């Protein structure tokens, strides 16, 4: 049963209750060096998906569909805020989008504008009140905000705002943005938003709504995706849609127009769409791991279809580290597209030798040893007749702690494989992310502490190879020359502000 938080249509939200960071770790957690990555998780996790709809009689229902398509970006909580020109309602709940937003609940969200958010939250940070959108009555009026990403220069801004008299009730990224807007000396809301976004550093794709307007913005380096779409309306103005990934547009029958540009602030009113560049001049560093793992293969992000990128990663991996074998088997679901590319390039049969149980839900994502040991076998099961007596090339998208990879290798061997060769469709993950991806500290990243050969021994594979950085970048090339962040593979962080505690050399050998 989902738990819901319903904010009445005109009520004024209490900042202390409502403000929370989209990102898994709050500012306090990050600044104390606390790693929020779930101890049982051996996958990196995206932390949010956002959607906004302007100019549709059933805007909340459209946002619901968009969030449904973005469910992979966060499964622990979701929220939708809607506005009808005068009032602004907001409903949030714990659980999957379809569990929270029944017909009865959607009926409480009237209006032709809506924004929504789906969230993956981390240990100690999964309370209902931390769900988004948050709704705040600021000095610039009632605002609902939902964002995807992590800010990295919060300490300085917070100290400055406090010197200027700001009273903080939480430690979240979102409160910093709202406080900046509220304290901006700019005369209009749009100027205040531009002024505020220009002061924060880090990764954010934001949708915001007032009683009569919608705003969307990306950080100046364009870390996280955010696209603009349109539903044509022959009888009136078109509906404008924003979504973290274009797969959301397909369900809405919206046409993709373009990406929100890095450093761009877009405003949609009854008069249409206007845009301004609130920041420029910084090199684009879009998250390459969106192409490797997070985004759905049927999405187009950063100017490129994710499916094409993963197919190329697989082909490049086959060129770089081919090995004699009988079958190519993906670790489903995320390894499937790269495995297809690998198999085609290598001229080997592709087989679904591992089956994922899609009905394993959040119930089993619990940091308890008993469940953790059970976890991989609950999620994956080998197809014995496809693996028995075969030399298997296993394709996966990452090795984080190594524990899950070892269990999978053992599982494939236990099903009769005579050899297991693991191929990873990106370089070794050697450093944490500070830009909206839930990552363990460096001490828990196996590739930060062991050589490739040591990892091979640990996971008990016959051979192990990663895609090279050059190969990854080549696989994600665009005509527009998209620049990518590769910091979790290179430690070259695009921003100055990172949490030093998290990236100090590991002191523990796993
Ligand atoms: S550090 Fe890695 S996961 Fe984080 S934004 Fe950069 S490429 Fe993406």
| pLDDT per residue as tens digits for the range 262-315 | 999 999 999 999 999 999 999 999 999 999 999 999 999 999 999 999 999 999
Predicted confidence band of residue 158 (pLDDT cuts 50, 70, 90): confident
Residue 199 has pLDDT above 70, yes or no: yes
Q: How far is the CA of 289 from the centre of ligand 1 (A)?
A: 6
pLDDT at 169: 60
Q: Which residues line ligand 1 (CB under 6 A)?
A: 223, 287-289, 433, 435, 437, 485-488
Task: From the CA of 290, give the closest atom in ligand 1.
Answer: 8
pLDDT at 450: 97
Mean pLDDT rounded to a whole number for the chain: 86
Q: Which of 137-141, 182-186, 193-197, 264-268 has the lowest mean pLDDT?
A: 137-141
Q: How far is the CA of 355 from the centre of ligand 1 (A)?
A: 28
Other beta carbons within 10 angstroms of residue 448's beta carbon come to 21
Residue whose CB lies within 8 A of the most ligand 1 atoms, among 73, 487, 490, 491, for a mutation test: 487
Average pLDDT over residues 220-241: 95
Residue 139 has pLDDT above 50, yes or no: yes
Average pLDDT over residues 212-216: 96
Of the candidates 48, 247, 287, 433, the residue annotated as catalytic is 48
Average pLDDT over residues 462-481: 97
Average pLDDT over residues 235-254: 96
pLDDT at 177: 84
Residue whose CB lies within 8 A of the most ligand 1 atoms, among 202, 288, 429, 476, for a mutation test: 288
Residue 117 has pLDDT above 50, yes or no: yes
Contact of 214 with 194, CB cutoff 8 Å: no
Q: How far is the CA of 452 from the centre of ligand 1 (A)?
A: 21
Q: Considering the entire predicted model, what is its pTM?
A: 0.89
Locate 87 and state its tokens. Answer: 């009032």
pLDDT at 12: 35
Task: From the CA of 429, give the closest atom in ligand 1.
Answer: 2
Name the closest-CA residue to atom 4, ligand 1: 433
DSSP string, 417-475: -SEEEEEESS----S---SSEE---GGG-HHHHS-HHHHHHHHT-SEEEE--HHHHHHH
Average pLDDT over residues 187-196: 93
Higher pLDDT, 496 or 70: 70
Name the closest-CA residue to atom 2, ligand 1: 488
**pLDDT tens sequence across 344-392:** 999 999 999 999 988 775 444 444 444 445 668 888 999 999 999 999 9
Task: From the CA of 431, give the closest atom in ligand 1.
Answer: 1
Task: From the CA of 432, give the closest atom in ligand 1.
Answer: 1
Residue 3 has pLDDT above 90, yes or no: no
Residue whose CB lies within 8 A of the most ligand 1 atoms, among 148, 488, 494, for a mutation test: 488
pLDDT at 15: 31
pLDDT at 509: 38
Locate 182 and state its tokens. Answer: 């509220």
Q: How many residues would you count in the chain?
A: 510
Calculate ∠ Cα 438-122-500, nearest 5°: 45
What helix, strand, coil percent values describe the chain, rounded to 5? 30, 25, 45
Residue whose CB lies within 8 A of the most ligand 1 atoms, among 152, 485, 486, 492, for a mutation test: 485
**pLDDT tens sequence across 15-27:** 323 333 344 333 3
Burial class (CB in 10 A: 0-12, 13-18, 19+), 191: middle
Q: How far is the CA of 484 from the centre of ligand 1 (A)?
A: 9
Highest mean pLDDT among 141-155, 374-388, 415-429: 415-429
Rounded Cα distance, 37 and 431, in Å:
13
pLDDT at 436: 84
pLDDT at 19: 31
Name the closest-CA residue to atom 5, ligand 1: 287
Q: Residue 334's closest CA among 304, 359, 314?
A: 314
Q: How far is the CA of 285 from the centre of ligand 1 (A)?
A: 9
Q: How far is the CA of 398 from the centre of ligand 1 (A)?
A: 13
- Whether 48 sits among the annotated catalytic residues: the reply is yes
**pLDDT tens sequence across 36-88:** 444 445 666 657 899 999 999 999 999 999 999 999 998 888 999 999 989 99
pLDDT at 367: 44
pLDDT at 413: 98
Residue 30 has pLDDT above 70, yes or no: no
């Amino acid at each position: 049963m989902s738990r819901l938080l319903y904010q009445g249509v005109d009520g004024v939200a209490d900042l202390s209750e409502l403000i929370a960071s989209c990102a898994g770790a709050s500012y306090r957690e990050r600044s104390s060096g606390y790693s929020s990555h779930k101890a049982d998780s051996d996958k990196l996790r995206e932390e949010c998906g956002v959607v906004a709809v302007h100019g549709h009689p059933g805007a909340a229902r459209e946002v619901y569909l968009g969030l449904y398509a973005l469910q992979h970006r966060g499964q622990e909580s979701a929220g939708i805020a809607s506005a009808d020109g005068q009032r602004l309602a907001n409903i949030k709940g714990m659980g999957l989008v379809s569990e929270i937003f029944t017909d009865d609940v959607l009926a409480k969200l009237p209006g032709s504008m809506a924004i929504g958010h789906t969230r993956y939250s981390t240990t100690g940070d999964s309370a209902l009140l931390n769900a988004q959108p948050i709704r705040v009555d600021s000095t610039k009026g009632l605002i609902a905000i939902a964002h995807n990403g992590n800010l990295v220069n919060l300490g300085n801004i917070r100290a400055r705002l406090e010197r200027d008299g700001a009273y903080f009730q939480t430690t979240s990224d979102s409160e910093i943005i709202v406080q900046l807007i509220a304290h901006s000396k700019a005369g209009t809301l749009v100027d205040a938003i531009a002024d505020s976004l220009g002061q924060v550093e880090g990764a954010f794709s934001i949708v915001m709504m007032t009683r009569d307007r919608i705003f969307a913005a990306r950080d100046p380096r364009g870390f996280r995706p955010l696209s603009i779409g349109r539903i044509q309306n022959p009888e009136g103005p078109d509906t404008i849609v924003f979504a973290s990934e274009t797969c959301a547009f397909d369900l809405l029958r919206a046409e993709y127009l373009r990406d929100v540009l890095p450093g761009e602030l877009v405003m949609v009113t009854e008069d249409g769409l206007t845009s301004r560049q609130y920041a420029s001049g910084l090199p684009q560093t879009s998250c390459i791991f969106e192409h490797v793992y997070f985004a759905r293969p049927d999405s187009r992000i950063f100017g490129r279809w994710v499916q094409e990128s993963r197919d190329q990663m697989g082909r490049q991996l086959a060129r770089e580290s081919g090995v004699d074998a009988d079958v190519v088997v993906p670790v489903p679901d995320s390894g499937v597209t790269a495995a297809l590319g690998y198999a085609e390039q290598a001229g080997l049969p592709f087989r679904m030798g591992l089956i994922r149980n899609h009905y394993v839900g959040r119930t089993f994502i619990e940091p308890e040893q008993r469940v953790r040991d059970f976890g991989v076998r609950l999620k994956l099961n080998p197809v014995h007749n496809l693996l028995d007596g075969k030399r298997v090339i296993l394709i996966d998208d990452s090795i984080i702690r190594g524990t899950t990879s070892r269990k999978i290798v053992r599982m494939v061997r236990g099903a009769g494989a005579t050899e297991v060769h693991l191929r990873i469709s990106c370089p070794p993950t050697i450093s944490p992310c500070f830009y909206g991806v839930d990552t363990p500290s460096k001490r828990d990243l196996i590739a930060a502490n062991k050589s490739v050969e040591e990892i091979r021994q640990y996971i008990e594979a016959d051979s192990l190879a990663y895609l090279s950085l050059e190969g990854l970048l080549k696989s994600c090339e665009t005509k527009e020359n998209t620049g990518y962040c590769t910091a979790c593979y290179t430690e070259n962080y695009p921003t100055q502000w990172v949490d030093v505690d998290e990236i100090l050399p590991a002191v523990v050998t796993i």
